[in-house]
Amino acid sequence: MLSKRRSRYCDCGPTTNEKPADTSDRADDCVRHGGCGAPAAAAVAAAHRNVGKQINPALSTPSIHVVKSGKGQHRASFGVSFDLLAIGPASMSTRMHYRIGNLIPFHAHPNEQAGYILSGKVRVLTRDSESELGPGDSYAIPAGIEHSIVILEDAEELQCFSPPRADFL
C-alpha cells in the first residue's frame, strides 16, 4: 500500500510503509534510488565492505565515466565555446565558456537543463520570466520550455542535461 507519509525505511517520498520481505540482494525497491531503506542500506554497506578489494574486470562493467580536469572535449554551440564533460546513460555535463557578446537565442530541446554559475553574470530567460544570475546561483529548465541566455559579463557555467543532448556529442 502506498502512503503519502514517508516510510520509516525511505526518506525520498511516498513508498511502501512496510519493509520489503526480501531485500538482501536488491538496491532498487524504491522508484528513485533504492530508498526503501533496507535495500539501499544493504547496497551502501556492501559497497563500503568492498572498498580496497580487487574487483575482477571480467565480472564487472564500468559504471563511472570520469573526465579529468582540462580533458573535456571542446565544442561550440550558438557560437559559444564549451567543454563536454562526463556523459552517462541518462545525463551529461558541460562547462560553458561565455564571453560578452555571446547570445544563446530562444530555443527548446527535449532535455531538462540545470545550470550552476561558476563566475560572471548571465540572464536566463523563458517566454514568461527572467533571472539575472551570478556565481553560486543555479537554475533548472524543464524539457521543452523555450529559453535564452544573455551574457552580461564573461562567465563560466556548469550545465547538466537529462537525457544527454545528442547535438552536443
CB-based contacts of 139: which residues, under 8 Å, 6+ apart? 114, 115, 124, 131, 133
Give the mean pLDDT of the chain: 77
pLDDT mean over 108-117:
98
Within this chain, do residues 40 and 103 fall inside the same structural domain, yes or no? no
Q: Smallest Cα–Cα separation from 121: which of 105, 142, 136?
A: 136
* Final residue in a domain of this structure, among 28, 57, 86: 57
- How does pLDDT run across 45-84, given as a tens digit for each residue? 444 455 455 545 554 556 889 999 999 999 999 999 999 9
pLDDT mean over 125-142:
97
Residue 64 lies in a domain: no
Within this chain, do residues 53 and 89 fall inside the same structural domain, yes or no? no
Range in 12-21, 103-112, 128-137 with the lowest mean pLDDT: 12-21
Residue 94 lies in a domain: yes
Distance of alpha carbon 146 from alpha carbon 157, whole angstroms: 19
Q: Pairing between strand 80-87 and 73-77?
A: antiparallel
- How does pLDDT run across 33-45, given as a tens digit for each residue? 444 443 434 444 4
Within this chain, do residues 25 and 107 fall inside the same structural domain, yes or no? no
Within this chain, do residues 52 and 12 fall inside the same structural domain, yes or no? yes
Is residue 12 predicted with pLDDT exceeding 50? no
CB-based contacts of 137: which residues, under 8 Å, 6+ apart? 116, 117, 131
Residue range(s) defining the domain that contains residue 125: 73-168
Within this chain, do residues 47 and 78 fall inside the same structural domain, yes or no? no
Which ranges of 9-155 would DSSP assign to H, the alpha helix?
38-49
pLDDT category of residue 153 using cuts at 50, 70 and 90: very high
Residue 65 lies in a domain: no
CB 132 within 8 Å of CB 153: no
pLDDT category of residue 91 using cuts at 50, 70 and 90: very high
Is residue 6 predicted with pLDDT exceeding 50? no
Is residue 154 predicted with pLDDT exceeding 60? yes
